[in-house]
Structure formats: structure tokens, C-alpha cells
Structure 1
Amino acid sequence: MDRLQGMRVFVRVAEGGNFAGAARALGMSPAAVTRAVAALEAAVGARLFIRTTRSVKLTDAGGRYLEDCRRILSEIAEAEAVAAGSTATPTGVLTLTAPVQFGRLYVLPVVTAYLGRHPAVSVRALFLDRIVNMIEEGIDVGVRIGHLADSGLSAIRVGSVRRVVCAAPAYLERQGVPETPRDLRDHAVIGSTATGDLPEWRFGTDRRVTVTVHPRLVCNTVDAVLAAALDGWGIARLLSYQVASAVAEGRLRILLDADEAAPVPIHVVSPEGRRAPAKTRAFIDLAAARLRADPRVNPVG
């Protein structure tokens, strides 16, 4: 009998406390169970059980070996499930989350391509400008922008974006162009509760330069901040992908780029990691490939 089968028999006997019960559970004869345990004891060179006419108890060596066997068998089962799932057809409902504008601009095209490839899957997309508890809310995969807390999520970095200061040309013509971060104190600033960086804006790759801003206008959505900046009301701080089209069209101008903080990472995250079902792994693979190839999302490669 092979070693792994011997381990399975040993674990079953240890958990049930008797050979007869293990034999019934495994569909083996009691004699075969006894031989399997004896062969395992011979292979490891230690007694695993103390047998009496009324009971079967683990030895000290058997107790330690039991934990190792459980771990080994669990890892093998997981590896087999992953291997089987890698060739399985994605099915079911995939629930995902991403920030609102990033989801609309970059994740939604991935979703539609994914649906085209996998006709047995449907998608529930939640585009939200807040960090959700993926386990509590039943979410399979998410796209997160920013440094990740130690959440236990499996994460794949797919790119990065810049945090930029910008304003409309009309505003700069009226109020002048700030030359240093501290010049922002003399300008109209548009704040955002969605970015989580009020009341301080940090600059420099080491984030050591800190400017306390006092915005007269504070909005709770990126779209509102962007609209106010485009209207020429003041200076805003947004992520580079959020202003890319307006900058390209000349409707916004990026300021203080020499003082920018380090790029902000983008990750695709999942609570299940390697044990995720085929529907989730297929989406993660596609999203990672698409986002890494997009220079707007991954300007630093």
C-alpha cells in the first residue's frame, strides 16, 4: 500500500479511535487497515498507536505525526482541486468590485470580453468608491487602487497610476500657476472625501512635503471634483487616469509634476487565492493581462 493511502488510513483510525470504524468508513477490511497501519509504522520507524482490547490511543510520536499527515493530505487535496479547476469550464455568477470611474473606463471592457469568452458565466459588477469587505459581501474579485492593508487577500499587482494636481487653463490665467506645493495655500482648492487625503496633501517620492489645504468646496465623488476643476473653479488633486482625457484635450493642465509622490499601485485581489473557482481565476488572468498592457493604467510598466 502506498504511503499516502497509509496516511489516510492512519488519520481515519486516529480520528475514529478504532480500526473497525476506519475499515467501514474506507470500505476496507479490518485486516487491511491493520496491515496499512503496521506498514506505516515500519516506514516511519515508530509506534503510532497503543492498542488494547478496548481502545486505540495515539503515542506521543503518533500525535505529532497525525498533525503532519493532516497538513500533507490537505495540501495534496488543495493542489488536486486547483489542477482540476484549471481545466474546468468557468460557470456561475462572478461578483466583482472596482472604483466607480476606473470600473467604467477599464474594468468594464474586461468584463465584456470575459463574458464573450465564457458563456456559462454571468457577472455582477459593483463599482463603488469605497473599500468593501469582500468576504462579508460575497465578492469574488476586486480591483483596488492604493497601498493594500494586511487583509489576507491574495493580490496581483497589475500597474500603477499617478496622483496629480491639476487645474483648467482659465483658472490659471486668472490666478496664476503655483510653482511649489506650498503655493497652494494661496489658491482655491477643490477637496474630495473620496480620495481620503484631506486635510493634508503630501508631495515628493518620500511624501515628506506636507501641505495643509483648506478647500472651500469639498465633493464626495470624483466626477464632481473633476467637473468643478473643468469649470475653472479651482485646483484639484486626482489620479492620472481620471484626468487623462481632459489633459490630452487641453481642458486641464497638470501642475507641480516635479513634486509628485510615488505612483499609486493597482492590484487585482481575491479572498480565495489558489483555491478560487475557475470563473474567478479566468477573470483574474484576463484582467491582469489587459491592465498590464494598458499604458494609461500602467505608465511605468
Structure 2
Amino acid sequence: MYSSERLKGVHMFVCVADTGSFAAAAERLNVTASAVSKGIARLEDRLQSRLFERTTRSLSLTDAGTSFYQACTRVMSELEEAEQSLHGDSSEPAGIIRVDLPAWYGRMHAFPIILKLVQAHPKIVPNVSFTDRIVDLVEDNIDIVVRIGGSEIWPDDLDHQFLGMERMIFCASAAYLQEHGAPLDETDLQNHRFVLYGLPKGKGSPLFTGVQAGERKRRVVAGNMIVGDGESQVMAVLAGHGIAQLSTWMLQEHLQTGALVEVLPHLATEGLPVNLVWRKKRHKLRRVRIMLEMLATLLTPDGRIEARR
């Protein structure tokens, strides 16, 4: 028989891992920090494994703690799914949703939608990470991701909604165009300054200028500046350092204000696919369905719909 004390210890452990401190977990659980510390010590003693690395300033999971956390959250998720299936849609959506977003796109466009959702449903608790790496939803216990690029072959335990393809345009600041003029055609691009995205080994990314014979046409130009970060690339273009080929979701505000101007619009081309991806099993939870519906309605490859109004 698995005792209730053991289940209590597991719940306390997950709460500490989620909040990042004994004090925060104690507040959430409505117990003392001392009770949390003793509970974790008992759990570690029973498992004969150290779950947390403790210093005076930080608390982090050990490798054993990370593995145990992943197992515990999977089990707790399955119990919650079973409970939710009994209640159907009658209860107010509540609980944690783990979401992973591309760093810049996520901050600019997806996270404001999540904030709006929480205003409408304050019992939903988003646990949001921002990373540009490809995450494993099951292994990392994530409910929903917004993914730019990556494989289009999806495992059986995942579902997805294709939001569309990025739109890549050439743009420059109004000041740059006033000083250097706009390129007249594709060939004239060679005569302009460029801010390129940095690739491995210090190379600048090629420019894409359409499709020919089923393949994307590439044009290599010398970069006057090579930057390994999209935000910095936009900053450099705004400062008048040259032309860049960028995704429109990066540029909404600057295009609207006229700080940046699209050039050679006939050379606009598709970028990477944008997908909303989720674990099929978690779709049973009402809060997950509500967040998916809101993201799917308001999120596009050009960014957030509201931001363009």
C-alpha cells in the first residue's frame, strides 16, 4: 500500500522544484519553510538520493532530482487527466500549463496572448520557458510549444496546427535609403551594405530571392556586419548600417512607424514553418484546450494579430 505521506512528499517535492525555493513552496502549500525542508529531507532519505543542490543563494535539482521530477510530474498529470475526465467542462479552468516558446517571437507575440488568457482565467498558472532549441514535450513534461522550423514529421503522441510560413522581406532604415538610395533590382543588391545573420564559423547567411527549379535561389553578398542574433540584427538595421532580410514578425512596429521600409517587395519569400504543437493526452484538460484555441486564433507567422491593428 502506498501511504498518503509518500504522496504528500512527492507533491511537496514537485512544488519546491516548480517554485525554486523552500520559502515559496511553503507559502503555496500553506505550511512553514521548516516543514518543507524536513519533508524534502525525509524524501531524500527514503530514496537514498540527493534531489536538490543547496547553496545559501540558490536551489537546483540534481541529475537524480531532475529524473524524479519528470517521473512525478508525468504521474501527477495522468491523475489530473483522470479527474478532469470525470468533471468534463463544468469546472473553471485551473492549474499549471507548461509552455515553451521561441525566445524572441515568444516574448513579442505569444506571451502577450498568454497574459491576456490569464486575465480572463486567473486560476490558470502558466509555467513558461523561452528557448530556441527543439524540446521534447514528453521528456521535458511540456504541454504546448510554439515551434519555428524543425521537422514536419510528428510523433504519434503529439498533435499540431500549422500556422503558416514566415514571410521574409528586405528592409532598411529610412535614413539609410535617404543616404544610399534603394536597390533598383536583385543585381543592384551587390552595391549595397548588408547586415547579415551569423552562421557557424563566422560566415554570414546567404540571401534568398525566390524559387527556381523547385529550389530556393541563394545570393551571397559581402556583409558589412554579421550578427548572430535577430534582435541585434534589427537594431543594426534601425541604426542605418545596411539592408537585411528579416521575418515580418520581427518588424511589425518598425514598418508601421516608418522607421524601417521594405525594399524590392517582389523578392519577398517564404521563411520557416510556424507550428503550434501539443501533447495529445493533455488536450483532455480544459485549460490546455482554452490556451490552444487562443494561441491558434491570435498567433500567425507575421506575429500577433492584435499587434497589427
Q: TM-score w.r.t. structure 2 length? A: 0.60
Which residue of structure 2 lines up, in the alignment, with residue 140 of structure 1? 143
Where do residues 25-36 of structure 1 align in structure 2 (5 Å cutoff)?
A: none
8 Å CA contact 1:191, 1:218 repeated in 2: yes
Q: Is 1:167 matched with 2:172?
A: yes
8 Å CA contact 2:84, 2:285 repeated in 1: no
Which residue of structure 2 lines up, in the alignment, with residue 123 of structure 1? 126
1:160-186 Cα distance to aligned partner (Å, 9 max, x none): 541111111222233332233343333
1:52-96 Cα distance to aligned partner (Å, 9 max, x none): xxxxxxxxxxxxxxxxxxxxxxxxxx9x98796555543321111
- Aligned residue type for 1:100: A
Which residue of structure 2 lines up, in the alignment, with residue 8 of structure 1? none
Where do residues 1-301 of structure 1 align in structure 2 (5 Å cutoff)?
A: 85-87=88-90, 89-146=92-149, 148-152=151-155, 153-193=158-198, 199-204=205-210, 208-262=216-270, 264-272=272-280, 275-291=283-299, 297=305
Sort the Cα spacing of 1:95 and 1:193 in 2 relative to 1 into closer, same or farther, 3 A: farther
- Report the Cα offset of residue 245 of structure 1: 1.2
For residues 273 and 193 of structure 1, the distance between their equivalents in structure 2, rounded to whole angstroms, comes to 39
Q: How many residues align?
A: 219
For residues 296 and 113 of structure 1, the distance between their equivalents in structure 2, rounded to whole angstroms, comes to 12
1:166-216 Cα distance to aligned partner (Å, 9 max, x none): 11122223333223334333322212249xx95322222555321123324
Identity of aligned residues (%): 26
8 Å CA contact 1:241, 1:297 repeated in 2: no
8 Å CA contact 1:154, 1:272 repeated in 2: yes
User: Could you say what secondary structure the match of 1:155 adopts?
Assistant: strand
- Aligned residue type for 1:268: L
Structure 1, gaps ≥5 residues long: 1-77
Larger radius of gyration: 1
- Aligned residue type for 2:217: V
For residues 198 and 305 of structure 2, the distance between their equivalents in structure 1, rounded to whole angstroms, comes to 23
For residues 181 and 222 of structure 1, the distance between their equivalents in structure 2, rounded to whole angstroms, comes to 23
For residues 82 and 182 of structure 1, the distance between their equivalents in structure 2, rounded to whole angstroms, comes to 61
8 Å CA contact 1:156, 1:267 repeated in 2: yes
Q: TM-score w.r.t. structure 1 length? A: 0.61
Structure 2, gaps ≥5 residues long: 1-80
User: Could you say what secondary structure the match of 1:226 adopts?
Assistant: helix
* C-alpha RMSD of matched pairs (Å): 3.4
8 Å CA contact 1:203, 1:259 repeated in 2: yes
- Report the Cα offset of residue 221 of structure 1: 2.2
For residues 133 and 278 of structure 1, the distance between their equivalents in structure 2, rounded to whole angstroms, comes to 22
For residues 89 and 239 of structure 2, the distance between their equivalents in structure 1, rounded to whole angstroms, comes to 50
For residues 244 and 178 of structure 1, the distance between their equivalents in structure 2, rounded to whole angstroms, comes to 22
For residues 264 and 233 of structure 1, the distance between their equivalents in structure 2, rounded to whole angstroms, comes to 25
